[in-house]
Amino acid sequence: MPPGVTRVLSFAVPSAPSVAPPLPDRLDEARALLRDRFGYPDFRPGQTDAVRAVLAGRDTLVVLPTGGGKSLCFQVPALLLDGLTVVISPLISLMKDQVDALVARGLPATYVNSTLSAAEVSERMARVQRGEVKLLYVAPERFDLGKTAERLRAVGVRLLAVDEAHCISEWGHDFRPSYLRVRQVREALGAPPTIALTATATPEVREDIARQLALRDPALILTGFDRTNLTYHVIATKNDAQKDATLIDLLRTRAEDGVAIVYASTRRTVERIATMLQHARIGAVAYHAGLDDEHRAEVQDAFMSERARVIVATNAFGMGIDKPNVRLVVHHAMPGTLEAYYQEAGRAGRDRLPATAILLHAFPDRFTHEFFIKGALPEREVIGAVYDACRRLGDREGLVGDDAAAIAAAARGKVSDREAESALRILARAGALAVADPSRTQAQVRLLATPARIKAELTEEEHGLELALLRSLWKRAGERFHLGIVADLDFLPSGIGGPMGAAQLLDALQARQMVVWRRLGEGISLTDPGRPLDEWPVDWGQLDRRRQGELRKLELMQKYAYTEHCRRHFVLRYFGDPAARPACEGCDNCLGERLTASEGAASAGRSRGSRGRAVPRAAGGAPKGGAAGSTDAPLTRDEMARFERLKEVRSRLAKEEAVPAYVVFADRSLREMARAHPRTLRALADVHGVGPAKLDRYGEAFLEVLREA
């Protein structure tokens, strides 16, 4: 398939309900809104078919490369459709990023996630219920709390967008159990038309996404995976010291214009690399899941506003950075899968200008990933040892505690803390354990009274609510109720009065010595201490398949690092893209230009290749070989001076409005302004990315600089 050609395919899901009648084609309206509110003249390849399918009410699966504009595939239809669009996203950083960009354009969007206080969540949900919001971004875990889905269904959800949809597939590189509940969330929302989006999906993963979400005869929008503006390099290194020296040289010589992302494998390594770069006088910040929300927001803002030009992040965590002018992405260690590498490397060059992705590789990198795989997907024997340890450590009521290290130490055999943590999560998903959440609505309840005594002492007329509570708990547990169960007081039948009402009823029953109960604080409790592991519904087959699948992916990732053939072809073939060709002009093997590791921090960081010449440089410090065009040509000295002045104006406006700099204008727009040198609003309107809304909001501020020049 030639690059840029869109395939619209359909595949049925037999168990899905019938689809609603199609809506009229509203593509012209969508194009007008794209021009007026987003400043783009037309949709990119793939976006047109995706928007048409969504506006027609079809379930849609969109696979576009990173930087291909997936978000517009649901943002534009959301603004045209009546009612609310709910966007499920696993990335808090990307959630805030996209909402900031929409709000800056005057569009009604908001998000609800764990970074907000209860008062802020309540205020935003009230705006949603009043119909003041068209796009609501939420994390999948939000639907585990209270009655979020029911409240949104009452508002009227017209479209459900599932971003990073590969997370729902056990074959995806970033499988998340919370995503497995999205199908139930969709049904609770009223089964609205759904668009699932991802940049990384093999054919197997695409089929799994459609099946897991029960998409109804979905349109598959697939434009190909190739990022022609990216050049791929692998640098062989011996150890971390050599990686560090090479990284310093790369950042000094290849990230002068634009910003850079450095990916590392662990939080500890991220902190070490960031400190090392700071000592080398390279402005770098660290970003990983271990940071508190406030610090994480500060780091992200520093990078997005370019106060820090290098960000070091964990590749396992994933950032969801939506920044167009990243010129260089360096992996300090090999990722565990090609999907992860493709997605993270794809953070470079989202403005479609030349950019570079470099992997610093050493053979021992694979051992770190093998350790992660073993820890995340433990063997059956390890899970059994952890469960037995919990049964030995549990008290009379089944309370085990919350110290995974202590449980690992008590387990027979050699069990690591990481394996114990994963085993506890697997057991909790199977129902064998209960992990109390911070809302403290979970309780340990044990029935003391016999059925005969309950019947004799409690009457429907005087104790109807107490009987309703006992029946609900008995229905859930049966005879196990006498041994003790963990109950979530937030999910009892209506009429009992919620957690507070249930607590009062349990107090009354405990005073009559019919039950004994207590709230669960932070900790782990056995649901039924006497029940053997074999009786719990652990999906052992899935665990084994995922473990073997992850090991196969790791092997392919290492083969990519060692291949002597075209790296682009290797990646495209992995994703099943028929556009794969045996050679390209954008990887070290095809160019015959190998970068070599630095022996010391003072070296240049590159050597002559097999053809005896240094790696050619393009505008922005990137090697040539990406997509060419008039907008890619280097700026002249006068144009570069204008470009720098325009960036100063952009930074000032972004700071005043507390938004990332690219929300005002992307680098590509500023380059075109510097090159075209418009002096009137009409001429400025012809620049890429300058729509009527931005022209009205920012036009005069930028024209003032251009007129002075």
DSSP 216-230: SS-EEEE--S--TTE
Q: Is the pLDDT of residue 167 over 90?
A: no
Assess whether pLDDT exceeds 80 at residue 13. Answer: no
Least confident of 314-323, 467-476, 512-521, 668-677: 314-323
How much of the chain exceeds pLDDT 90, in percent?
29
> For residue 10, is pLDDT > 50?
no
pLDDT for res 320: 52
Contact 297, 325 (CB under 8 A): no
What was the pLDDT predicted at 110?
A: 94
Q: How far is CA 583 from the centre of its chain?
A: 32
Q: What is the mean pLDDT of residues 84-96?
A: 84
Distance CA 262, CA 344 (A): 10
Highest mean pLDDT range out of 61-75, 127-141, 198-212? 127-141
d(CA 308, CA 305): 8
**Most confident residue range from 74-88, 600-614, 674-688:** 74-88
**Residue 255 binned pLDDT confidence (cut-offs 50, 70, 90):** low
Determine the 3-state secondary structure of 442 from DSSP. strand
Dist. CA 45–CA 8, nearest whole Å = 12
Strand order in the sheet with 399-401: 399-401, 524-526, 433-435
pLDDT at 607 over 60: no
Q: Is the pLDDT of residue 28 over 70?
A: yes
Q: What is the pLDDT of residue 177?
A: 66
Per-residue model confidence (pLDDT) at position 15:
39
Location of each CATH 1.10.150.80 domain in the chain: 637-708
Question: Whose CA is closest to 534, among 427, 659, 669, 679?
Answer: 427
Please compute the mean of the pLDDT values over residues 152-168 and round it to a whole number. Answer: 91
**Cα-Cα-Cα-Cα dihedral sign, residues 362, 367, 368, 370:** positive
The answer to whether residue 14 scores a pLDDT higher than 80 is no
Per-residue pLDDT, 174: 60
Q: What residues form DSSP beta bridges with 433? A: 526
Evaluate the CA torsion angle 198, 203, 209, 215 in order and state its sign.
positive
Per mean pLDDT, which of 158-167, 489-498, 621-630 is the most reliable?
158-167
Q: Is 80 exposed, middle or buried (0-12, 13-18, 19+ CB in 10 A)?
A: middle
From CA 679, how far away is CA 432, in angstroms rounded?
A: 70
Among 167, 118, 159, CA closest to 139: 167
Residue 330 has pLDDT above 80, yes or no: yes
Distance (Å, whole) CA 25 – CA 17:
23
Question: According to the model, what pLDDT value does residue 618 have?
Answer: 35
Q: What is the pLDDT of residue 172?
A: 58
The residue-averaged pLDDT of 6-30 equals 54
The number of beta carbons lying within 10 Å of the beta carbon of residue 190 is 14
Compute the average pLDDT of residues 566-584. Answer: 88
Residues 338-346 have a mean pLDDT of 88
Which region among 10-14, 402-406, 535-539, 663-667 has the lowest average model confidence (pLDDT)?
10-14
What is the per-residue pLDDT across 637-651, written as a single tens digit (0 to 9) for each? 888 889 888 988 998
510 compared with 621, residue with greater pLDDT: 510
At 84 the pLDDT is: 94
Q: How confident is the model at residue 520 (pLDDT cuts 50, 70, 90)?
A: low
pLDDT of 24 strictly over 80:
no
Q: How confident is the model at residue 170 (pLDDT cuts 50, 70, 90)?
A: low
pLDDT at 617 over 70: no
Whether the pLDDT of residue 232 is over 90: the answer is yes
Residue 658 pLDDT class (50, 70, 90 cuts): confident
Q: What per-residue confidence (pLDDT) applies to 257?
A: 67
| Mean of pLDDT values over 575-579 | 80
Confidence of residue 540 (pLDDT cuts 50, 70, 90): very high
How far is the CA of 607 from the CAs of 246, 249, 596, 618, in angstroms?
12, 12, 6, 17
Q: What pLDDT is attached to residue 611? A: 35
Cβ count near 535 (within 10 Å): 10
What's the token pair of residue 500? 């507070």
Mean pLDDT of 41-67: 89
Beta strands in 166-258 (DSSP E): 194-198, 219-222, 230-236
Output the CA–CA distances (angstroms, integers) from residue 483 to 389, 447, 450, 479, in the order listed: 19, 7, 13, 8
Q: Outline which parts of the chain fall under CATH 3.40.50.300.
A: 7-222, 230-368+558-629
CA distances from 529 to 379, 395, 432, 480, 519 (A): 22, 10, 8, 10, 18
Give the mean pLDDT of the chain. Answer: 82
Average of pLDDT values for 78-101?
A: 86
Name the CATH superfamily, with its identifier, for domain 230-368+558-629. Answer: P-loop containing nucleotide triphosphate hydrolases (3.40.50.300)
The pLDDT assigned to 357 comes to 95
- The CATH H-level superfamily of 7-222 is P-loop containing nucleotide triphosphate hydrolases (3.40.50.300)
pLDDT of residue 146: 65
Q: Over range 25-34, report the average pLDDT.
A: 87
CA distance 384 to 534: 9
Question: What pLDDT, on the 0 to 100 scale, is given for residue 215?
Answer: 92
- Over the stretch 261-273, which tens digit does the pLDDT of each residue have? 999 988 889 999 9
Q: Name the token pair of 152.
A: 């949104």
Structure tokens at 574: 């992995």
Please state the rounded mean pLDDT for residues 119-145.
Answer: 88
* Residue 503 pLDDT > 80: yes
Strand order in the sheet with 284-287: 230-236, 355-361, 326-331, 259-264, 310-314, 284-287
Residues 6+ apart with CB under 8 A from 53: 8, 60, 195, 219, 221
- C-alpha–C-alpha distance, residues 439 and 144, integer Å: 12
What is the reported pLDDT for 494? 66
CATH class of the domain whose range is 637-708: mainly alpha
Element (H, E) at 262: strand 259-264
User: CA distances (Å), 32 to each of 27, 133, 646, in order?
Assistant: 9, 21, 28
- Tell me whether residue 150 is exposed, middle or buried, using C-beta atoms within 10 angstroms of its C-beta: 0 to 12, 13 to 18, 19 or more: exposed
pLDDT confidence bin for 525, thresholds 50/70/90:
confident
Given a cut of 70, whether residue 565 has pLDDT beyond it is yes
In the predicted structure, residue 558 carries a pLDDT above the cut 80: yes
Q: How many residues does the chain have?
A: 709
